[in-house]
């Protein structure tokens, strides 16, 4: 392969990308990166305005970046968002499902056992992570079925491979995301077009606002026992950063991964490979 052809594989100029939850840290990093690679990016989020850090990082990028107020748990709202994206940029080529997260009330503690986790908190985590992935795939996947091409990237988690203590709903929901990714990859390739690819990444331990209360002490900033245990079992001995995900993201979305569908790629600093001994 010529070097020029390789460069073109990672040129997303003229493509339209939709990123749910793109106002967050991970989704925002992906949105900015794709804009700098030439894509026109529609961020679907419930926030009213974009984080200043995202807009500053995207300033001057060759691709356009816009925020569309949406709700990944409402098919009607998602369809309205899809219509707005099409008016602005045309048909969708890329869908990244970055909306997701845990909830403190769905997490066991010394004071709150598994048996006492409230149903509404468990349902919130299941819906946000699993339904919040499936419903956007229905709406934007329909467009891809019509155009016979596209790339969908879901965000799973290392919890899908090895369920972690204290977060039963999140682990189970992300396992569902991995399973659904494989199912949808087969369905789209067999029923509509083998040029529609569906994959996922499974980030390891990234220190963010949603898990900070589990991994660091709020008063001192020092690692909690759980945080120390994680690093002990991570051969690279650090937490991940959002930009650690970008290489795999760009590869899975690009023509360089044209024969890759139905995979879940761990990005975890070696956590899954380490037996603990």
> In terms of C-beta density within 10 A (0-12 exposed, 13-18 middle, 19 or more buried), how is residue 17 classed?
buried
What is the torsional sign of CA 192, 96, 11, 80?
positive
Instruction: Considering only CA atoms, give the Rg of the chain.
Output: 19
C-alpha to C-alpha distance for 199 and 182, rounded to whole angstroms: 7
Catalytic annotation present for 170: yes
CA atoms within 13 A on the CB side of 163: 12
**Active-site option among 7, 10, 170, 192:** 170
Among 234, 237, 276, 251, smallest CA distance to 34 is for 251
Two tokens, residue 266: 């761990």
C-alpha to C-alpha distance for 70 and 41, rounded to whole angstroms: 14
150-155/94-97 β-pairing: parallel
Which residues are the active-site residues?
170
């Amino acid at each position: 392969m010529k070097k020029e052809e390789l460069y073109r594989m990672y040129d997303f100029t003229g493509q339209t990308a939709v990123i749910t939850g793109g106002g967050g840290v991970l989704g925002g990093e992906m949105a900015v990166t794709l804009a700098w690679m030439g894509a026109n990016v529609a961020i679907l989020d419930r926030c009213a305005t974009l984080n200043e850090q995202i807009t500053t990082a995207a300033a001057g990028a060759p691709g356009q970046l816009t925020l569309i107020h949406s709700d990944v748990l409402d098919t009607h709202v998602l369809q309205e968002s899809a219509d707005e994206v099409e008016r602005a940029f045309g048909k969708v080529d890329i869908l990244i499902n970055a909306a997701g997260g845990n909830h403190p009330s769905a997490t066991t503690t010394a004071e709150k056992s598994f048996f006492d986790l409230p149903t509404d908190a468990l349902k919130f985590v299941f819906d946000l992570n699993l339904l919040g992935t499936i419903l956007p795939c229905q709406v934007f996947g329909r467009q891809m079925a019509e155009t016979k091409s596209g790339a969908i990237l879901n965000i799973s988690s290392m919890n899908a491979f090895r369920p972690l203590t204290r977060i039963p709903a999140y682990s189970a929901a992300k396992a569902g995301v991995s399973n659904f990714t494989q199912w949808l990859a087969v369905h789209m390739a067999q029923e509509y077009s083998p040029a529609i690819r569906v994959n996922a990444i499974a980030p390891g331990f990234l220190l963010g606002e949603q898990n900070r209360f589990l991994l660091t002490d709020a008063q001192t900033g020092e690692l909690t026992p759980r945080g120390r245990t994680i690093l002990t079992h991570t051969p690279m001995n650090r937490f991940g950063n959002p930009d650690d995900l970008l290489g795999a993201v760009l590869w899975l979305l690009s023509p360089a991964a044209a024969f890759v569908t139905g995979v879940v790629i761990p990005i975890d600093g070696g956590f899954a490979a380490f037996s603990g001994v």
